[in-house]
A and B are shown apart, each in its own frame.
Chain A
Amino acid sequence: MFVISPQFQTISKAVMRFQQLWIFDLTAYHSFWQKQVLKDAALEKWSVGENPWQALMHFYGLHLFSPLEDLAPLARDFHTHRKNPVNSKNIRDVFAAFRRLGLLRIGHLRRLPFPGLQKRFGKSWADFLRGILTPTECPWIWEPFRKQDPLSWTTDLEEPSVDAFLILENLMSGFRKIAESSPESRIQKFNISLHLSHPQIFEFDFPHSISLQKDSAWIRKLIEEKLHHLCLEESVFRLRVDAFPVELKAAGQLSLFGNRAENLTSEKTRLHHFYRRLENQGYSIFKPQSLPSYVPEKSWAKVSPLNENAGVIVDRGLIRPLIQKDILPIPVPDKSCKFTERITWFDEKGIEHRRDYFMMRQTRAWAWVFRDKNENWFEQGVIE
């Protein structure tokens, strides 16, 4: 169940903004509480629907028998909300085209196939009309709204004072404390309140979008200017600062790394998200991990970069060629070879193995070959 109200209500934590309206998602709640909200909705004239499309239709007073022109305000709001490349002229043109086709009611649009609508008017319109005509089949893109509480600071002065400089310094220390408590926050506006001895409060709004960390000089200047014009007859005994953080924009983009909230996260988190994303898509993404063996093909293993030991390389067996292929038997070389390395080891059965590695000049490169205990020759890599 979804509820639409022009004012913000505290009926659900799942909230999104649609232009000037608030859409509340109550689907996760028990039917008892849904009924309670329905009672309130009847009193408060909220709009209710099984999905956001139906709730919106109800709010705009639309149904399938409504005149087609009545759909225009909702279409305008929808395209503005989705930031679709549709202007008011385009909306007029589309409705004029519908009129020419003899469509007078919203329900008449059902005669037109959606692929045809998309081809003629574009994807934005096809999505909108699909939502209006088949609300149960068309998913609504939910962009959660994260409401942020104001950051407040209050202090009582040791001695009530009319000294503007003292008030200013105290206010600035308040701003510093707010900035320390939430270092990353950017505020959209802030208020300061001066409580006078006589029950009188001076409140000043500063509708400036600023950063608490970086713009302290600017904040100081703004308050200084305000206090300069203020003539205090009574002494101030209490100061209060309210800073309103910027509302985080809804994350409606398809790209995982495109939205702003994601950009705020640390680089390490982004990297982990990325690795996990690639692994979920089936790509082989890895870092090496050293193994105890000295045998080149068994001396390392691919591990996920999310593994703690990924990329930890033991500093041994590194004076070797960079390109190492699968082992390939070769005839006994007829050229001279340069000895590079000997490896001897025992396997689980106690059998001794030995490899003498050589480098051998081929037509365009140096091959890395080895001779085993039985005098068989193999090629394992290319020297680079």
Chain B
Amino acid sequence: MKVFFALPYICMVIDPREFLQYRFIEKPKPSLLQLIGEAGSGCHRLAFDFLKPVQRVAWLSPHWDLYAPLLWKMASDQHIDLVGVECSDRRRLRNLLKEILNSGVFDGLVLDRFSLNAGEGFFLQKLLFPFAKSMRSLVIDSKPHSFCLQRARLSLSHRKFRIVWGRGGDPTPIYKDFPYLTEIQSEGSECSS
């Protein structure tokens, strides 16, 4: 009985709509996107399209095998200031991530083929929480990770990239032209040995 007497008074103090609003406010989650695909699937070529809009990006890789002039040209075409970081020592990766995020100079981060384990992934996710709105992060790996809120699987057919959202997007396949392949296939002469 006492509860029924108290309820109107509680309602007088707190507006129920306001109460519900406070209750269901969610903290913004970090934008951690994964592109799933092996080398040659288009994850690197289309990375900046998924990162947009960003101004300064750190591209982290354990072993750098990308053709940097082309990558930097792609970045500059999209007005992105790109910096490459090579970190082959796995034990120093967490420190590197901390340094990059705490520096506050980057608004984009690409982790290229690190094959992160769950511990490292959730560590990254925790680090990214304060930067949920200001930082866009991209993980490129061949296996899907549960710590990424959005996942897209990429592959390269004979002429086009195929993008299928596995999580956090429309699962209908999207096709994108790959001009380099189209041009070579239409103009290049064949050589059979």
Query: Which residue numbers of A lie inside 8 Å of B, CB to CB?
Result: 255-258, 267, 270-271, 274-275, 277-278, 281, 283-288, 290, 296, 299-300, 302, 305, 311, 313-315, 317-326, 332-340, 356, 358-359, 361, 364-367, 381-384
Contact = CB atoms under 8 A, between A and B. Distances in A.
Contacts of B158: 361
A333 B68 contact: no
Contacts of A285: 83-86
B45 A278 contact: no
Contacts of A286: 83-86
Contact of A283 (B40, B70, B71, B87): B87
Interface of B: 38-45, 64-73, 76, 81-87, 92, 95-96, 99, 102-105, 155-156, 158, 180-181, 183-185, 188-193
A300 to B, nearest CB: 5
A313 B188 contact: no
Given A302-B84, A318-B69, 14 more contacts: A281-B99, A287-B83, A299-B69, A300-B67, A300-B68, A305-B83, A322-B70, A323-B67, A334-B193, A338-B189, A338-B191, A340-B184, A382-B39, A383-B180
Given A270-B105, A333-B193, A339-B189, A365 B38 contact: yes
- Report the 8 A-B pairs with minimum CB-CB distance, sorted nearest first: A365-B40, A288-B68, A382-B40, A338-B188, A284-B86, A336-B192, A274-B103, A382-B39
B104 A270 contact: yes
B184 A359 contact: yes
A358 B85 contact: no
A384 B39 contact: yes
Contacts of B102: 255, 257-258
A269 B157 CA distance: 45
A190 B81 CA distance: 43
A163 B189 CA distance: 91
Given A305-B83, A384-B39, A384-B42, A317 B69 contact: yes
A288 B190 contact: no
A283 B85 contact: yes
A338 B190 CA distance: 5
Contacts of A364: 38, 40-41, 155
B191 A337 contact: yes
B181 A366 contact: yes
A335 B43 CA distance: 26
Given A296-B67, A313-B72, A339-B188, A383 B40 contact: yes
Nearest to B98: A255
B160 to A, nearest CB: 13
